[in-house]
Chains A and B, each alone.
Chain A
Amino acid sequence: MAAESSDSEEEDLVSYGSALPALQEGERIKKPVPLQEQTVKDGKGRYQRFHGAFTGGFSAGYFNTVGTKEGWTPSSFISSRQKRADKTILGPEDFMDEEDLSEFGIAPKDITTTDDFASKAKDRIKEKARQIAGVVAAIPGTTAFDDLIGPSKITIGVELLRKMGWKEGQGIGPRIKRKPLRQKPDPQVKVYGCALPPGLSEGSEDEEDEYQPENVTFAPKDVMPVDLTPKEDVHGLGYKGLDPTQALFGISGREHLNLFTGGSEKTSDLLGDLRHSKGRKLGITGQAFGVGALEEEDDDIYATETLSKYDTVLKDEEPGDGLYGWTAPKQYKSKKRFETEVKYIGKILDGFSLASKSSTYPPPDLPRDYRPVHYFRPVIAAGNENYHLRKALEQSTGKLENDTTQQSRHTLNASQRRDRLGETVLKGPAPSVLEYLSEKDRERLKEVKQASEQQMKVKMLPQQSQNRFQPTSANDAPHKWQMFLGGQLANAGSSDFKPFARNPEKQKRYESFVQSLKQGQKDMLEHYLDPSMTEWERGREQEEFFRAAMFYKSSNSTLSSRFTRAKYEDDVDKVEVPRDQENDIDDKESAVKMKMFGKLTRDKFEWHPEKLLCKRFNVPDPYPDSSIVGLPKVKRDKYSVFNFLTLPEATTSVTQATNERIQQNNNLNKPKKPSRWDVSDKEKEKKDSISEFISLARSKVDIQQQPPVPMTEECGTETNETLPTNEDKDQEESRPSMDLFKAIFVSSSDEKSSSSEDESDEEHQPTVSVINSETNKQVDLPDSSSSNVQGST
């Protein structure tokens, strides 16, 4: 309609605003810019985008990411150990845009004035006025809120005053000399009009108590501004609203308090247990006012006020709690008064009551011989070694406490504690190597001894060897040991240690032996030894006894109790030792001296390198089927004497000639290594009694150890049946050490080969390789081991 009319009557219309520029030829009408294309740019021409929870959120990051194009990219771990110093602590400003740091941003860097820099010190005058107002006001304490709300700006007047040198808390005016102490106002003096609150008036006068020199001037006292609070209510002059603190707990209300808290629970119930707030001067508690946020205590705000709290009649205060009224009995009244002074403050537990009368107890009766002087009595540990000190103390103190019950538990030793606790005695470790011998071995020894007794009688220890098992001499041993033992013998044999507990017979012998030794009967010593023993054994046992007596001093009980027997006795008698031992040095020594290096000084062993080591060395494993690493090992009797006995005659008597013979023998039958048993065998005719004795013993061992061998071999081969024990027995007399080799070195495979050529090759040694009956693990690879042996030799 308007369009139609505009064509006709254009001049009649009034136009507002400026007209759009006329379109030029060919120009298209501009389309309004859509909202999404309206951009805002910052000062540097960068686009500023608005997004966020509400419009106008400031731009965060790079296209809604965390500031980089990649966003959160996982980066490899970089240890901060080396670059600890490079690390800086980032503040919030580091994440802000530049606009935020500008003048009108969030964190402007330019200096601007804020109220924060105003003086924190409170305006004292205002404060005082506020306090007065707070007290006087109809609802006390309300002005306290002004403090929280009001700005802490300083007025221009105060500022000017400060520039003139005024300080807060001072009065205004020229400095004056302070007058000497004013007299305190007499308490009797009547005060007319409105008296200042006690706290305020007192404080100002207390300040004058200080010492004041004459020539010093002071600023004038601050003047209390006149309180010009207009009277707005219709109450009478001087009317104050009921102040509950003043009425009940204030200084003026002390008497009232006494009245109510006289002790009766009923009144305290009425008050709602208001006693806690006694120390407070100001404050609104409980009743009708609620608890302010600044109040510490959460009092019972729901307590109701009752009229019974107030006096309804004007009269003198009642002395009692008012329960009885004026008709109260006389004694009650007087007692009440007394008890209020020694009032118990605090809650009395249920079921308890205050003691009506305090009871005193008489001091204890002193014993008749009581001396009121303390004297020091030192305690000496029982096990103390300082005998002289102990003795001296014993004399000085009269008697030493022998009673163990009086000693501290730290001074007791383990055995004493054990006695107290009623524990059983632990068995100490067996002291000698012989104790580890099994019963069987000992029997064997006995047999051997009997068998060799005849020979022993003829030639008794023909040569003194350096063998450590050899006793020096049966006769001079006691003297030697006696010197060693000295005073230690006094303790030996006492107490509960039993070095030969396994062999009660021997233990008995030992005890009597020690007994006689203590008494110094050197000649009698021999009598306690076993008469059935040989002299050699006797000498050894004697030495053993001496050794035990010396070793087991008094401290042995503590020592032994620290050790206990192994729970599981696995393989007690057997120990793994390398099968091939490097031979005795003696013959090599002589060979070195003669510069005969070569066969004499060389030992060659089968050695199994670890598979991995071969791999690392790029070398094929020489024993691909073997599980052994290092030198092959065999099991031997652990604590057998024979393990440690070397044949002295074999080594000492080996001369150049014998060495050569060994060499020849080695050349003759190649599969042999010069082990010590070989030597002994070769030098059989040279054996003296000891070696014979040992080989005898060995043969016995073999007989006893033989049975399990066929057991293991039966399953494998039938040919082993040709290894009967009686055959061995036949050979025993002629050459006992032969069986020894079999027992130690025979393996099933070797058995196979050697048994076939047993008849022919009888005189020669069996091939030295593995095994005795215990090392079946190694026998498991019979082929490889046997082939190795043959290949290597």
Chain B
Amino acid sequence: LPQSLPVPPAPVSPRSHLVPAPRVDGNYCLTCGSDKSLKLWNPHKGTLLRTYHGHGYEVLDAAGSFDNSQLCSCSADKTVALWDVATGQVVRKFRGHAGKVSCVQFNEEATVIVSGSIDSTVRCWDCRSRRPDPVQVLDEAKDGVSSVKVSDHEILSGSVDGRVRRYDLRAGQLYSDYVGSPITSVCFSKDGQCVLAASLDSTLRLLDKDTGELLGEYTGHRSTTYKLDCVLSEQDTHVGSASEDGKVYFWDLVEVSRVPHVGGRQALDEVLLHPPSRGHQHVHLRQAEGGARVRAGTSGIPPRDGARTSGITWDPPRDGAGTSGTL
């Protein structure tokens, strides 16, 4: 029987979700929020490049395609939308989820959108054909799906029922790892060997992908009610997580030692590490209130040292939902 665990409540509005649009260079930053729109920013200058309107309710997650030509977003209006970046029009809208769609991802070639919803299903939508139904519905979760990630042949989903499910398309296997506490965020390690899972017991767990063994456990931050993000750095050297005390926590992946955190005064929801381009390291942060902000380290800082960025202060938010700024 499905366990009725409380779905982690989304933070109070106004809010925005921060998404790194391009994997390649990090020259754009995409936010989405309760104003039913997506906003594309230049994180370096803090200029708003484009606003995408078309959702009927709060936009909960968004992702960009590999070639920056398309965006996908999911909303509390139960739809998943595919956008054209240049025209700003909705190319397709996928309806089928029975509840809020909380997370969305493109696959590598942007041919499939994978979306996870509060209705405890993960749906794979075909971007190529005009088919309105999902290609496949992964309904193994017993509670809402809070996070989904896609690799070249895997779909990783974290659910509130406390399980991390990895659907291996190549092997035709489903691996379900029980973590116990509702999962808020999952992500692959860059080497493809591990899975990082953040759960509501204020713990990040690094699990071995093949055996499901626990490789590391990272605690110290606070995560009990909100859907907070976790992240692995580009070289898998550090583990980062947002925390409800408004700080970003980093751990050394191997030594499991905490490195000094960056912080603000308000609760954070999402943490994204900027791709290391031109020697910068940007830490993308999202706050529960007051919009998204981008922090940037100076160019001299090596990417692996997340600690140095803590010396930089916040810039004031410009508007309610989805401000982006840089220093």
User: CB within 8 Å of B: which residues of A?
Assistant: 582, 585, 588-589, 591-593, 595, 597-599, 601-610, 612-614, 616-620, 622-623, 629-631, 788, 792
Contact = CB atoms under 8 A, between A and B. Distances in A.
Given A616-B135, A619-B153, A631-B140, A599 B212 contact: yes
Nearest to A596: B214
A604 B207 contact: no
B136 A609 contact: yes
A598 B171 contact: no
B172 A602 contact: no
Interface in B158-178: 162-163, 167-178
Interface residues on B, range: 35 or more
Contact of A616 (B128, B142, B167): B128
Interface of B: 3, 107-109, 111-112, 124, 126, 128, 135-140, 142, 152-153, 162-163, 167-180, 205, 207, 211-214, 217
A495 to B, nearest CB: 35
A619 B169 contact: yes
Given A616-B112, A616-B135, A619-B153, A609 B177 contact: no
A616 B111 contact: yes
Nearest to A623: B172
A601 B166 CA distance: 13
Residue with the highest number of chain A CB atoms closer than 10 Å, among B168, B172, B173: B172
B135 A597 contact: no
Contacts of A591: 178
B179 A629 contact: no
A90 B190 CA distance: 66
Contacts of A601: 177-179, 212
Given A609-B136, A629-B136, A619 B177 contact: no
B109 A618 contact: yes
25 contacts: A585-B178, A592-B180, A597-B205, A598-B211, A598-B214, A599-B212, A601-B178, A602-B177, A603-B176, A603-B178, A604-B173, A605-B174, A606-B174, A607-B167, A610-B124, A612-B135, A614-B169, A616-B111, A616-B112, A617-B153, A618-B109, A622-B169, A622-B170, A630-B139, A630-B140
Contacts of A606: 172-174
Nearest to B215: A597
B174 A631 contact: yes
A593 B178 CA distance: 11
Contacts of A608: 172
Contact of B112 (A613, A631, A792): A613
Contacts of B128: 616
A633 B175 CA distance: 17
A792 B173 contact: yes
A385 B244 CA distance: 52
B176 A582 contact: yes
A405 to B, nearest CB: 48
A598 B172 contact: no
Nearest to B170: A619
B170 A602 contact: no
Nearest to A617: B169
Given A613-B124, A616-B135, A630-B138, A605 B163 contact: no
A632 to B, nearest CB: 11
B163 A597 contact: no
A622 B107 CA distance: 19
B214 A613 contact: no
B167 A609 contact: yes
A605 to B, nearest CB: 4
Given A582-B176, A595-B217, A609 B169 contact: yes
Contacts of A593: 180
A602 B162 CA distance: 12
A609 B108 CA distance: 17
A586 to B, nearest CB: 11
A605 B170 contact: no
B170 A597 contact: no
B213 A598 contact: yes
Contacts of A599: 211-212
Contacts of B173: 604-607, 792
Nearest to A583: B178
A605 B128 CA distance: 29
Contacts of B136: 609-610, 612-613, 629-630
Contacts of A603: 174-176, 178
Contacts of A788: 172
A599 B142 CA distance: 21
A589 B211 contact: no
Residue with the highest number of chain B CB atoms closer than 10 Å, among A610, A620, A792: A610
B112 A602 contact: no
Given A582-B140, A582-B142, A605-B173, 11 more contacts: A585-B3, A588-B178, A595-B214, A598-B214, A602-B176, A616-B135, A617-B112, A617-B153, A619-B170, A620-B170, A629-B136
B159 to A, nearest CB: 11
B126 A612 contact: yes
A585 B111 CA distance: 36
Nearest to A618: B109
Contacts of B153: 617, 619
Nearest to A603: B176
B99 to A, nearest CB: 20
Contacts of B135: 610, 612-613, 616
Residue with the highest number of chain B CB atoms closer than 10 Å, among A585, A593, A792: A585
Nearest to B163: A582
A607 B180 contact: no
Nearest to B201: A592
A620 B207 CA distance: 26
A607 B178 contact: no
B217 A613 contact: no
A629 B135 CA distance: 10
Residue with the highest number of chain A CB atoms closer than 10 Å, among B162, B180, B211: B180
A616 B107 contact: yes
B148 to A, nearest CB: 14
Contacts of B107: 616-617
B126 A589 contact: no
Nearest to B107: A617
B169 A613 contact: yes
B175 A588 contact: no
Contacts of A614: 169
Contacts of A620: 170
A629 to B, nearest CB: 6
Contacts of B175: 602-604
Contacts of B179: 592, 601
Contacts of B152: 617-619
Contacts of B207: 597
A182 to B, nearest CB: 82
A629 B167 CA distance: 13
Given A622-B171, A630-B136, A597 B126 contact: no
